[in-house]
Structure 1
């Protein structure tokens, strides 16, 4: 199928995470015409329409940057909206969000996926069929896999009720838990009991607990403790090291299960790691993930993707339109 000419651009790519949204308008030849950025996409907290309003601000910025006003009222900006969204964890949520975004009239066609698919596509080669598995570890943790015939593997990934552990929020929570118990005697000693409150200029875990409970240190800042955890683990602290090792084992478990569901455990298959925790290059974490994959899926080819996920959303849009390989190459070159 050739690229449709239903709008001034071929693809309106959207990558929306919990903390920010990136949008790119992409021409049929892969040229980026304009980009935009807005805040986090959180429909469970604010509702679907207000969340889509956040996307609209980034879309408007990208359209202005591209200098591509709608040729007539209600006309689409692009042939294809390719939106990879946080909090689109279940297929029913993807459908609801596709309906809400489609109603805005930004594209002649709209496809919504969970944002982990953007990480996966960004990490796959642009030649040949799209086949692979991705694990993203940012604020949370998720994993998806895809085959050329359209089959996918995925997890609900909505927290502890769906069996999840880890991600930045989980790591910070676990570090605080062990540090609190170390200070009051319920657990063994760990340098975390000094390092975590020290990050906020506090002298004890009791002071940190009080600050978190009463708002002196907002809960939203607990993600700042993740680099502290990794630093303490790198210095050899056994408690911190055990937390990092557990995170690595969770990554391996998710990737291996996804590979198994797609009958890829015994085949040479890309396994793409992304998100702020995995892309940070923590040696202990990534070495253990690599070793675990080598044991459970010896032909898997692990890589870490640092390109912005909006690249993956754009590539998925170009894939859907049957764009030539050169367009994908140009788009990838733009995002480095």
Structure 2
């Protein structure tokens, strides 16, 4: 029996799925972040290796050996030719690793390297036709039609883009709290909520938290639920932040729809990422707006995780080659 590996590498974690060619999941492994753009190539390699190692060790509890015939790596921050070249070197390093109990039977044709948006689409819907709206720490909207044409909107990172992401919602929430404190913005419970959550004596102490402690993207993004809860409780300022996030996502999705699909297309839009689990009904707000524009679209939650989509792409690529 031969197997494939599906790798989902993001800014917070790396997931590996070992799948047989009958599309049955054998085992799963997880490790730390593997976005090499933000943590470096060596750290990304170690995370990917650790996730594979965990999955393989789990599999060896029930099977004697693992021969890998194909691999797909869907990684955050990978879209340009130079990114592909970096990941190809990572795959070669994996094949030469003495820590992985794997029999490698790979050719260059059986190695698929892509952005994590594609594997989120395939895993979420079950095939590569449709749109994925991924909104977690970062944000991106990606679509692919039946002709294989693709369109990406967003995904530019927390400085240049990532509108509607947990990071941007958190930052906007803190800015709104400080504007209200100054008297430049409308009153909001975000002042008290942030103080209580962070254990601050005064909202001015945000300076020490954000700047002096050197908080990173993940830590700041983790404050997004504060804005969510305030919005769910009826806070007008927080709800305006959420409404703005919905508008950005609807606009991005509409651009993808109008670029690669016809107006009467029947397709699914899969929504994935932590932001969709908010209590302030952001998912319902988004769904209502999209269906008003595109009545034949169905907005769904993922059927499978992105790593599953990566494994499916590895299998389909192997079948098409053979």
| TM-score of the aligned structures, taking structure 2 as reference length | 0.86
Q: 1:256 aligns with which of 254, 257, 268?
A: 254
CA distance in 2, matches of 1:162, 1:223: 16
CA distance in 2, matches of 1:158, 1:217: 20
CA distance in 1, matches of 2:132, 2:302: 10
Alignment check: 8 A CA contact 1:52 1:100 kept: no
- Which residue number in structure 2 is paired with residue 232 of structure 1? 230
Alignment check: 8 A CA contact 1:94 1:112 kept: no
Q: 1:45 to 1:122 in 2, by over 3 A?
A: closer
Deviates more, 1:160-169 or 1:305-314: 160-169
- Which residue number in structure 1 is paired with residue 111 of structure 2? 110
Q: 1:282 to 1:321 in 2, by over 3 A?
A: farther
SS at match of 1:321: helix
- Which residue number in structure 2 is paired with residue 124 of structure 1? 125
- Which residue number in structure 2 is paired with residue 302 of structure 1? 299
- Which residue number in structure 2 is paired with residue 10 of structure 1? 3
Deviations along 1:95-120, one digit per CA (max 9) or x if unpaired, are: 22442233233543211111122221
- Which residue number in structure 1 is paired with residue 173 of structure 2? 175
SS at match of 1:187: coil
- CA shift for structure 1 position 276: 0.9
CA distance in 2, matches of 1:132, 1:283: 26
Deviations along 1:49-98, one digit per CA (max 9) or x if unpaired, are: 44123211211222222227878xxxxx412111111121x232552244
SS at match of 1:136: strand
Alignment check: 8 A CA contact 2:229 2:279 kept: no
- CA shift for structure 1 position 320: 2.2
1:87 aligns with 2:77: yes
Alignment check: 8 A CA contact 1:139 1:167 kept: yes
Deviates more, 1:295-304 or 1:98-107: 98-107
Listed as ranges, the matches of 1:130-209 within 5 Å are 130-155=128-153, 157-159=155-157, 163-209=161-207
The number of residue pairs the alignment matches comes to 306
- CA shift for structure 1 position 295: 2.5
Provide structure 2 residue ranges, at least 5 long, that are not aligned to the other structure: 96-103
Deviations along 1:134-174, one digit per CA (max 9) or x if unpaired, are: 01000010011112332211135223775542201111000
SS at match of 1:318: helix
- Which residue number in structure 1 is paired with residue 284 of structure 2? 287
Alignment check: 8 A CA contact 2:143 2:152 kept: yes
Alignment check: 8 A CA contact 2:268 2:299 kept: yes
Alignment check: 8 A CA contact 2:162 2:168 kept: no
SS at match of 1:270: strand
- CA shift for structure 1 position 12: 0.6
Listed as ranges, the matches of 1:10-89 within 5 Å are 10-67=3-60, 77-88=67-78
SS at match of 1:139: coil
SS at match of 1:252: helix
Deviations along 1:169-196, one digit per CA (max 9) or x if unpaired, are: 1110000000011112122211111111
- CA shift for structure 1 position 16: 1.0
SS at match of 2:125: coil
Deviations along 1:276-330, one digit per CA (max 9) or x if unpaired, are: 111x15353112211210222221111122743212212222332349xxxxxxx
- CA shift for structure 1 position 234: 0.9
Deviations along 1:33-57, one digit per CA (max 9) or x if unpaired, are: 3322111013123432441232112
Provide structure 1 residue ranges, at least 5 long, that are not aligned to the other structure: 1-7, 72-76, 324-336
| TM-score of the aligned structures, taking structure 1 as reference length | 0.83
CA distance in 2, matches of 1:164, 1:218: 15
